[in-house]
Homo-oligomer: A and B are copies of this chain.
Amino acid sequence: MSIKTPLNTSKRILLGPGPSDVHPRVLKAMATPLVGHLDPEFVGIMDDIKGMVQKTLLTQNHLTFVVSAPGSAGMETCLVNLLEPGDEALICIQGVFGGRMAEIAERCGAKVIRVEAPWGEAIDPEQVKAALENGNPKLVAVVHAETSTGVLQPLEEIGKMVRDAGALFLVDAVTSYCGTALKMDEWGMDALYSGSQKCLSAPPGLSPVSFSQRAVEALDRRKTKVQSWFLDLSLVKSYWAGAKRTYHHTAPVSAMFAIREALQLVLEEGLENRWDRHRRNHELLKSELQAMGFEFLVKEGYRLPMLNAVKIPDGVDDLEVRRSLLNEYNIEIGGGLGKFAGKVWRIGLMGESCTPNHINMLTGALKAILR
């Protein structure tokens, strides 16, 4: 390793499961010289971010902020704060990320009840209903956009059941946030975490989160300390939302500059316009891919617009094609995760990567490679 090698990356087109392409305005904001993490100017930036996360989640929740670490840490933030040892947690699993929630909930000492759907399908609300009748969970968790399978999970019906049962409703919105309809308050969610690098198109490393008043009351009723100091909301909230901003950890200042600009771009476009754009481009990609003979993994009506899981045609070598896309065309798409490894491709159309130009680059390259 020479010590004088400058950073020398290729100009990638990011059409995988995230990160997505980042707007030049976001890159430029991120390169702004720093201010301190307790500077009054930075406190103002945190307030801007909080307000814009509330708007983009359609929530009034006071406890809305951005975790200083990637989406998986946002997931862990929600679970370690809302669960105590012995609590019952009902976790819906229809892919990798539901499984990860169950894994974390168990590490919190919770008694985990699993409600599972086959990979590539959505959870049937009737399954949740049955599980709620047989148990008494403190929390029910579900993934809105399962990035490992491309399934869009309908939330409204489940949300209502969970509320009626008196449980807390936790939603993984990492991939759906800013890319498809997501209405935190209207759909009765109590806790939600997301990621910066999907349809928001900020660099990875941050996780917007929000907690309802019911969730805050559950936090206040805890009998034990949160097992993570870094993610303990009773400490983090005085930094993000206290009258006096008490030092907890050093916030990633540059990443916050970036997410602020990415959020502004969303609001300038309009949240619903952005949802529509993702839907329209998904339709365009779908018709192009189907014309080429590709089949979608997920049945119509449950497909994510921003993460298209398609079956790899027989006789096509997964790695070879993805290597050609990357090396000859600078295009990244995602391979299959877990049981779908080698069987599906995951094509992301997220945020700045969700344009007809991106679709044309990809389909043109695929046609040439598969010819």
**Are A255 and B252 in contact (CB-based, < 8 A)?**
yes
Interface contact A76-B19, CB-CB below 8 Å = no
- CB contact list, A65-109 vs B, under 8 A: 68-73, 76, 80, 100, 103-104, 107-108
Interface pair A254/B107, CB less than 8 Å apart: no
Using CB atoms, name the residue of chain B closest to A261: B7
A7 to chain B, nearest CB (A): 5
Interface SS of chain A: loop
Contact (Cβ within 8 A) A229 B34: no
Please give the count of copies of this chain that the complex contains.
Answer: 2
> Which B residues lie within 8 Å of A226 (CB)?
107
> A104-129 toward B: CB 8 Å interface, digit per residue (1/0)?
10011000000000000000000000
What are the residues of chain B within 8 A of A5 when measuring CB–CB? Answer: 48, 264
With A7-B261, A48-B1 already in contact, the answer to whether A332 and B36 are too (CB < 8 A) is yes
Q: Which residue of B51, B204, B251 contacts A37 across the interface (Cβ within 8 Å)?
A: B204
Contacts A19-B253, A229-B104 given; does A11 touch B33 at CB 8 Å:
yes
Q: Would A250 and B1 count as touching, CB distance under 8 A?
A: no
Question: In this assembly, does A149 line the interface, its C-beta being within 8 Å of a C-beta of chain B?
Answer: no
A34-72: which have CB < 8 Å to B? 34-37, 39-41, 45, 47-48, 51-52, 68-72
Q: Is there an interface contact between A4 and B264, defined as CB atoms closer than 8 Å?
A: yes
Q: Is the CB of A39 within 8 A of B332?
A: yes
Tell whether A216 is near chain B: CB-to-CB under 8 Å. Answer: no
In the complex the two chains form, is B31's CB within 8 Å of A31's CB?
A: yes
Expressed in whole angstroms, the minimum distance between the Cβ of A8 and any Cβ of chain B is: 8
Point out the residue from B10, B52, B70 that lies within 8 Å of A252, measured CB to CB.
B70
Q: Does B34 lie within 8 Å of A19, measured CB to CB?
A: yes
- Taking A229-B107, A250-B70 as contacts, is the C-beta distance between A12 and B31 under 8 angstroms? no
A254 partner, pick from B28, B205, B253, B326, beta carbons under 8 A: B205
> In the complex, what residues of B have CB within 8 A of residue A289's CB?
none
Residues of B within 8 A of A228 (CB): 76, 80, 107, 227-228
Is residue A192 within 8 Å, beta carbon to beta carbon, of the partner chain? no
Least CB distance, A285 to chain B, in whole angstroms: 19
Known contacts: A1-B52, A3-B264, A33-B22. The answer to whether A70 contacts B12 by CB under 8 A is: no
Residue of B nearest to A256 (CB): B205
B31 touches A27 (CB 8 A): yes
A33–B51 CB distance below 8 A:
no
Residues of B contacting A51 in the complex (Cβ-Cβ under 8 angstroms):
1
* A170 CB, min distance to chain B CBs, angstroms: 15
CA of A281 to CA of B70 in the docked complex: distance in angstroms? 37
Q: How many whole Å from A52's CB to the nearest CB in chain B?
A: 7
Whether, in the assembled complex, A225 has its beta carbon less than 8 Å from a beta carbon of chain B, the answer is: yes
Residues on the B chain within 8 Å of A76, using CB: 228-230
Q: Are A12 and B32 in contact (CB under 8 A)?
A: no
Given pairs A19-B37, A70-B249, 16 additional interface contacts (CB within 8 A) = A7-B260, A10-B41, A11-B33, A14-B36, A16-B36, A18-B250, A19-B36, A22-B34, A27-B33, A69-B73, A70-B252, A76-B229, A107-B228, A203-B252, A205-B205, A252-B252
For the complex of A and B, list the 9 residue pairs with the smallest distance between their C-beta atoms, beginning with the closest: A205-B252, A31-B31, A69-B69, A203-B254, A3-B267, A72-B249, A204-B250, A27-B31, A1-B51
